[in-house]
């Protein structure tokens, strides 16, 4: 199962002076929220079918805190592809993860739907394509039995039910599972679990950032009034001023 270290979603994002990168020094980092659903799914599968949960992270030294959190939440061991300045580029990350996974045996490969930092939503599908295994994206339900997986993909207007052989990859949507909390005891125990640290194979980034900007501010709004009395005013301004009805 692949986890990514990301700034907490409530963190204010600051653009660096070069106008091409993000300052993260004062940000708080957490496990990417979608991976919490994926990790919980992995742990539940282990509880039901046996086996082991391995977490894999590509990232800097500081990713250790995220790995420890995942180990506390039920993973058995970790692989840390440690690199301080690996290109922040989905295809490069996917190639490095796939290269590592070629020598790892697994039945189920779990990802989050997307990293809430780059919002790029690509790594899972790309890794699966590189490994030649099926990948079902945005899943809200997963059942494994008889050497097969049945997954529910959440799409516009409903759910697509997909059956795949194993090994198989999945990217987790919110609500795939209800993530558990780690107890203090588990946090301490996590420190004793094995973490294999290695260097990732390096691949070039393909997306080049030309510039980063803050979105234009919205023009200031106004409160039209209190209670039902403001309702006719609202309809009037929506029609005459905003011209949206």
Ligand X SMILES: Cc1cc2nc3c(=O)[nH]c(=O)nc-3n(C[C@H](O)[C@H](O)[C@H](O)COP(=O)(O)OP(=O)(O)OC[C@H]3O[C@@H](n4cnc5c(N)ncnc54)[C@H](O)[C@@H]3O)c2cc1C
Residue 33 Cβ, how far from ligand X at the closest point, in Å?
4
Residue 23 Cβ, how far from other proteins at the closest point, in Å?
11
**Helix (H), strand (E) at residue 61:** none
Give phi and psi for 220, each to the nearest 5.
Answer: -60, 140
Position of tokens 């940000």?
27
Separation in Å, CA 69 to CA 4, 55, 79, 123 = 12, 11, 14, 22
> Does 65 help bind ligand X (rule: CB under 6 A)?
no
3-state secondary structure of 36: helix
Q: How far is CA 47 from the centre of its chain?
A: 23
Q: Which of 5, 31, 33, 131 binds ligand X (CB under 6 A)?
A: 33
Position of tokens 């994002």?
13
Among ligand AMP, other proteins, ligand X, none, partner that 16 touches (CB below 5 to 8 angstroms by kind): none
Q: Which is nearer to ligand X, 33 or 112 (CB)?
A: 33
Residue 201 Cβ, how far from other proteins at the closest point, in Å?
15
Q: Which is nearer to other proteins, 191 or 239 (CB)?
A: 239
Question: Do β-strands 77-82 and 195-198 pair in parallel, antiparallel, or remain unpaired?
Answer: parallel
> Does 33 help bind ligand AMP (rule: CB under 6 A)?
no
Q: Which of 11, 122, 164, 201 binds ligand AMP (CB under 6 A)?
A: 122
Q: Which is nearer to ligand AMP, 34 or 106 (CB)?
A: 34
Find residue 44's DSSP bridge partners.
Answer: none
> Does 9 help bind ligand X (rule: CB under 6 A)?
yes
């Amino acid at each position: 199962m692949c986890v990514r270290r990301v700034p907490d979603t409530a963190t204010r994002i600051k653009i660096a002076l070069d106008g091409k990168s993000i300052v993260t020094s004062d940000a708080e980092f957490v496990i990417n929220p979608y991976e919490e659903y994926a990790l919980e799914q992995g742990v539940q599968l282990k509880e039901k079918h046996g086996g082991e949960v391995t977490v894999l992270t590509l990232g800097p030294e500081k990713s250790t805190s995220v790995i420890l959190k995942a180990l506390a939440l039920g993973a058995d061991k970790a692989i840390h592809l440690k690199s301080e300045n690996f290109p922040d580029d989905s295809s490069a990350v996917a190639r490095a993860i796939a290269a590592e996974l070629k020598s790892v045996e697994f039945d189920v490969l779990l990802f989050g739907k997307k990293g809430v930092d780059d919002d790029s939503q690509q790594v899972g599908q790309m890794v699966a394509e590189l490994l030649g295994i099926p990948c079902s994206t945005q899943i809200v339900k997963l059942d494994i039995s008889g050497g097969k997986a049945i997954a529910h993909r959440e799409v516009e207007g409903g759910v697509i039910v997909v059956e795949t052989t194993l090994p198989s990859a999945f990217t987790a949507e919110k609500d795939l599972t209800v993530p558990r909390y780690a107890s203090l005891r588990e946090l301490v125990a996590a420190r004793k679990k094995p973490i294999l640290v290695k260097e990732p194979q390096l691949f070039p980034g393909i997306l080049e950032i030309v510039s980063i900007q803050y979105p234009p501010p919205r023009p200031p709004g106004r409160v039209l009034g209190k209670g039902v009395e403001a309702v006719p005013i609202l309809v009037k301004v929506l029609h005459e001023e905003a011209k949206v009805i």
